[in-house]
Structure 1
Amino acid sequence: MKSGATGSRSRVGVLRLGAALLCGVVLAACQSPRDALQQLAQQRGQNLESVRGGDFPLALLAPSRAARGATLRVYLEGDGHAWATASQPSLDPSPHNLLVARLALDDPRPSAYLGRPCQFFAAAPCRPALWTNRRYAPEILHSLDQALDSLKARYGNVNFELIGYSGGAALALLLAATRDDIAQVQTLAGNLSPRLWAAQRQLTSLDGSLEPLDQRQRLARLPQRHLVGLDDSVVPASLARSYRDALGEGRCLTLIELPGVSHDQGWESAWRLWREQPLRCGPAQP
């Protein structure tokens, strides 16, 4: 009788533990990307806010201070959850993986994280085209451009360093080609050329999107370093090599190929090794 009661209590304990774990999984699954970003920011002593970028409020994690006159580092989010299926656009492009926000919050220097239009904050103009074929459209670029102006007014920095992840890399390059205060660009798993990327993957071209290589003369003079994962099947390392070759002479570019790094795995440790390494313009990289 005693052993039976003990066994019954054990089974009840196991059931309670299972129920608790299930509740935790359900709550995590029900947490919105915006709530998850807010929670992450609070864990690091920051708050999620928004900054106006054209017709869109953009998610912003901003440092409490930045040295006046210095270069402000800004992390640009990737394309996020653009597609629900291979043929069906997502209803909410907010990223489910907060990798870029974590990299920004973990950076020892004052850094800002900037989301893309329609990520985390909805707006009247939001429609699936803005995170599918028009993900690098002029209105998207204009939105980020205005947000950088707002950050510059807040912090009084002279220049920016842009860190672009995945599709955020294309936008970082486009911003650098149109602004005169981008000191350098670094990218992680970057889609450096949407045109070449679509061609390599035999996808329909991104009609309405801008192409960085159309600004190759300006970009050839831009200090830039591109970190690519050799295990990345979403944006393969061959794309960065093609971009490097297409950029032409005078390029100020370093390409770093990282074994064991995929599109969304291995970046925390890889970035810690490279984020403070200086960029130097010199002979073209082989």
Structure 2
Amino acid sequence: MPASSYKTLLILAATLLAACTSLTDQAKGFAREHGMRSDAIAGEPFTHQTFYKTGKAVDRLHIYIEGDGRPWLRGHLIADDPTPKTPLALELMARSPYTSLYLGRPCYFGYAKQPPCEPRYWTSARYSEAVVNSLAVAIQQIREPNQKLLLIGYSGGGTLATLLAQRLTGDIKVVTIAANLDTLEWSELHGYWPLSESLNPMVQATPPQLVHTHLAGGHDSVVPLAIIRRFSKQHGGTLREFEDYDHVCCWRENWPDILNNVL
């Protein structure tokens, strides 16, 4: 390889590494600016980044779960680090007045190289049994005895919140935002590789006692409203449609009011 090409590759690799590191640092900086405490907690088998915010007391702990972030680069290259550029669930929590916990997904926020992390856990196995189980173990470590929970999941985080509700005991409520609730239909719709190692909420049993609300945007082209409608028709729960919203707009801007209306 010519020296110039080798040098270019080194520069590119260094740039990509710095970008991944800075995304984690940016999220931690954002958390600090909003008075959150940063910590890490062991699930099984993964380590999870957490951010904790003290606010108004409520009858249940609010737990936020992030979307898929950046599993792919340019649509076909697996990312070295799936940490999102814009962690919308973290931004939603910052706008909430209530005591809340942000529970990071396995291999995100700087843990992508820590065993047993490997790329399948943010691609084909992003909603796998191993991922769901590790999140559940982490929650049980955080949770006080018999504490009520509200799981709030954005996009793929809503997928995980729905799957988690099947594994956690006690008084659990779920709110999903623009969530991928039928992974097979979603993959086929976009022409993506199937999430072959992941669980699909559409074909999982929903606990009959579960109180679940699903928020959907009328202009969402990432997770179309029709997918969430079909899930709600089959599994029940409350469907709330926001005609002018898409996958990103305007959840952040209106979150305090939306949250109060679903509590």
TM-score, with structure 1 as normaliser: 0.79
Counterpart of 1:43, as a letter, is E
Per-residue deviation at 1:31? 6.5
Runs of 4+ in structure 1 off by over 6 angstroms are 28-31
> 1: CA distance between counterparts of 2:202 and 2:76?
28
> 1: CA distance between counterparts of 2:21 and 2:166?
38
Give the match for residue 133 of structure 1.
124
Query: Which digits, 9 at most, give the CA deviation of each residue in 1:47-101, with x for residues without a partner?
Result: 3211111122211011348859x31110011111111121111110001102211
Give the match for residue 201 of structure 1.
190
Determine whether 1:81 maps to 2:70.
Answer: yes
Per-residue deviation at 1:221? 3.8
> 1: CA distance between counterparts of 2:120 and 2:19?
26
Distance 1:159 1:112, change over 3 A: same
Counterpart of 2:184, as a letter, is R
Distance 1:169 1:195, change over 3 A: same
Query: Which digits, 9 at most, give the CA deviation of each residue in 1:117-161, with x for residues without a partner?
Result: 1110311222111111100011101110011011114xx562211
Query: Which digits, 9 at most, give the CA deviation of each residue in 1:230-276, with x for residues without a partner?
Result: 221111111101212232xxx2x111121332212211233222202
Aligned length: 244
Structural mapping, 1:54-73, within 5 Å: 54-64=44-54, 70-73=59-62
On the 8 A contact 1:61/1:112 being kept in 2, the answer is yes
Unaligned runs of 5+ in 1: 1-27, 280-286
Unaligned runs of 5+ in 2: 1-17
Structural mapping, 1:97-136, within 5 Å: 97-122=86-111, 123-136=114-127
3-state SS, counterpart of residue 81 of structure 1: coil
Q: Which of these residues, 209, 219, 230, is aligned with residue 242 of structure 1?
A: 230
Larger radius of gyration: 1
Per-residue deviation at 1:197? 1.6
Give the match for residue 221 of structure 2.
233
> 2: CA distance between counterparts of 1:273 and 1:65?
16
Q: CA RMSD in A?
A: 2.2
Per-residue deviation at 1:30? 8.3
> 2: CA distance between counterparts of 1:271 and 1:96?
20
> 1: CA distance between counterparts of 2:94 and 2:116?
29
Give the match for residue 20 of structure 1.
none
Per-residue deviation at 1:201? 2.9
Give the match for residue 11 of structure 2.
none
Per-residue deviation at 1:162? 0.3
